[in-house]
Amino acid sequence: MKGKLLTFLDRKLYEFLEKHVDVMPLRFTKMIAFYYCDARTRKLYFRKLGITMGENTYANLGLKVVRNDGDFSVTVGSNVSIAPNVVFVCESTANNGREINTLPYVRDVMTGGGNITVGDEVWIGANVTVLQGVTIGKCSMIGAGSVVIHDVEPFSLYVGVPARKIRDLRTGERVTTG
């Protein structure tokens, strides 16, 4: 009896959240997208936030997208695995800074925005940060804790801060950088 009740309540809650996705306030939309326990529901609410995910893509709890309400988007391909606490940063600025935002390097290089694209069949490890304008190529892996600041080649393993290519996944060969 208890199991049937829980299943019933789970279904009703899903139906409620699905029905009201378009009228949910932005704060609740973000909270549900980032932290709700059901991946199907999170995917619905990510879509409302302008984040598209292909078929059979799974985003774990804690996926966050920093857009600052700009026109930038995140597009994730099909069959992608996103581990917990991944952050996609589409826009970056020292929000509360006055003097720091006037410095030429900060203003011209560090501040900005761009779309993020993740190809099909990508595996992103836990606690990865992907910065604005990055494209992650098909069948690539990003190691846990990495910070991706440049495009990622297809069929490659990238790790580190900043993330660097260390292996070609097609051949298994280790890549040495000079």
Give the CATH number, domain containing residue 116.
2.160.10.10
Q: Does the structure show a pLDDT above 70 at 70?
A: no
Would 16 be classed as within a structural domain? no
Cβ atoms of 133 and 88 within 8 Å: the answer is: no
pTM of the predicted protein model: 0.88
Q: Does the structure show a pLDDT above 80 at 171?
A: yes
Would 79 be classed as within a structural domain? yes
Question: Exposed e or buried b for every residue in 32-45, given b needs 16+ CB within 10 A?
Answer: bbbebeeeebbbbb
Would 44 be classed as within a structural domain? no
Total of domains in the chain: 1
Would 176 be classed as within a structural domain? no
Would 9 be classed as within a structural domain? no
Give me the domain span that covers residue 151. Answer: 50-168
pLDDT band at 67 (very low <50, low <70, confident <90, very high): confident
Would 65 be classed as within a structural domain? yes
